[in-house]
Structure 1
């Protein structure tokens, strides 16, 4: 028979849990109300519609839609430890002329976990549920995914290839990869900085260390070393204070165990050549100083899409891992180009 934990220990655990949940809720509330010094990152000015989505395993996904219901649709899927607020600069830029949809991946933001074990198949299924909920009959969307969001799109194309042409007009993959994330990353400052100072190439992260970094449930206290590490490893050291504060606010709203569970999932990512199932024009974007998913991942995806005949464009932007935050102007220009290319044939037929 299992021994009971001491009452004092149980009470302490309850207090810690309550404090953590209160802190996470405060971070998320702050994102919904606070300005960040750059208007693009402010909470969306346009009212949103809440789209109810409940998955087969009971997860409740937070899905927001901005703009007219009959407007062309763009769906944004965020990455690891983020939330739909990560896309504020894109929502503010495109909502109105377009129907902009963003959602919290399960376990992230205000979406619940459900009872199924995290997997890329599960994330693909969630995307199916979101698309089925937000698209009108016969309607297609431009799909954009950052990091784990891009992996979600790739997993979706591999698992449901028939849905690509049915529900997508075009795809944008940014700062993402399909496999070997730990083997082909440069996440450890001590290994990289001396080599960069000397003009050499960054060293790959050892497999065991990459798994430890991605899978450990950690917090991000508001202290200078944490800010420096986040800027150095996730963004860049020349990132402005406003952009760094905004990105940290998004990441701090992610529960520690979600960070750990999905971090482990990323270390085991094996999507192979699933991206070849993108049968619609697909744009690939990378960051020249992205240590989480170095540009070689994007190069591999671009080569695969080139062979499949669906590569619409490939660019390396002057950013770290959070390209659509660090250079939201350049990223938004790429999105606008994709949206225009989708609408042009429609205008020609009108």
Structure 2
């Protein structure tokens, strides 16, 4: 009996010692994981700060601030840049972004254009949509209010929209068809689609026989209202996978991540639901001005087939451009090419830029 008691006691001691070793190993493992995580975060920060694109994107120009109220009472934060007598260029950003999305265009074009930027309803410094209206009709009304407030009567603007911003332009043309040729000299539709957004997206790759599953999963992705995790090495790479190309620079990815994480989750979900059932293809017929269509060859959200369909449906296609190595964020990833395309559109529309020879 004494031997049995000693044996049980030894086993308990051995197990107790083993458990302590397991606990100590777990603590060391967590510590090592945290250390690796922090090392990755610091490495990302260094790469972002050393990126030549950092200052271009994170140096936010300041313009003349204006508050515009849309037809339903939603407050819109607007900024104007450049010479007052220069040709107007209205820039409309996309889903989960803000007007600073256009920083590279502001740096590159504000000496030749009178640039107007604004935060879409619910985004950035603009107010929440009245009655939670996230419809494309509401976006059209917002653009009309901005045009009335910032473009003098008798002058025509160039419109350039990215993603949801381009959808806003097309929705505006359909809602205000008589205003199109009266107020607009030309339009640029950048990295966008006007229907079948879920079916065409390349984020979730499934066999062709699983279209229903893809539609359900895509709808959940677009309309999700859950809080996004804070900035981290993982979120940085997730944003790059979804929205940018593999060749996007660290600062470009970080800049996009910052805007996405700042977007209010109800706004993200509200416009996501709108886009999940979007069908504006027929509205292209109302955009009866010279129109540029530009897309990225590595765009997973609105891949090249969207560009092809829009180019074929436009009444007055000015130019179709595909930036082969760009993802969904072409104005950020390849600003020189986008700026040059906007300038070519201006020339096509007969606009003389400020500072250009007569």
TM-score, with normalisation over the residues of structure 2? 0.79
Of 184, 191, 194, which aligns to 1:168?
Answer: 184
1:265-298 superposed Cα distances (whole Å, 9 cap, x missing partner) = 1101111310111111001001111111111111
| Cα distance change, pair 137–327 in 1 and its aligned pair in 2 (3 A) | same
Q: 1:298 aligns with which of 295, 300, 307?
A: 307
What's the counterpart of residue 233 of structure 2? 224
Structure 2: any 5+ residue segments left out of the alignment? 1-48
CA offset at residue 35 of structure 1? 11
SS at match of 2:318: strand
Greater share of helix residues, 1 or 2? 2
Q: Which has the larger radius of gyration?
A: 2
Q: Distance in 2 between matches of 1:97 and 1:285?
A: 21
Provide the alpha-carbon RMSD of the alignment: 2.3
1:1-350 to 2 correspondence within 5 Å? Answer: 37-38=52-53, 39-45=55-61, 47-116=62-131, 117-188=133-204, 191=205, 206-217=214-225, 218-305=227-314, 308=315, 310-317=316-323, 318-343=325-350
Q: 1:35 to 1:135 in 2, by over 3 A?
A: farther
What is the CA–CA distance in structure 1 between the aligned matches of 2:85 and 2:152, rounded to whole Å?
Answer: 8
104-113 or 34-43, larger mean C-alpha shift:
34-43
* Deviation (angstroms), 1:95: 0.9
1:300 positional shift? 0.7
Q: Partners in 1 of 2:202 and 2:112 — Cα distance? A: 39
Q: Which runs of 5+ in 1 are unaligned?
A: 1-33, 196-200
SS of match in other structure, 2:319: strand
Q: Which moved more, 1:155-164 or 1:36-45?
A: 36-45
Kept in 2, the 8 Å contact 1:40–1:93? The answer is no
1-structure distance, mates of 2:230, 2:353:
50
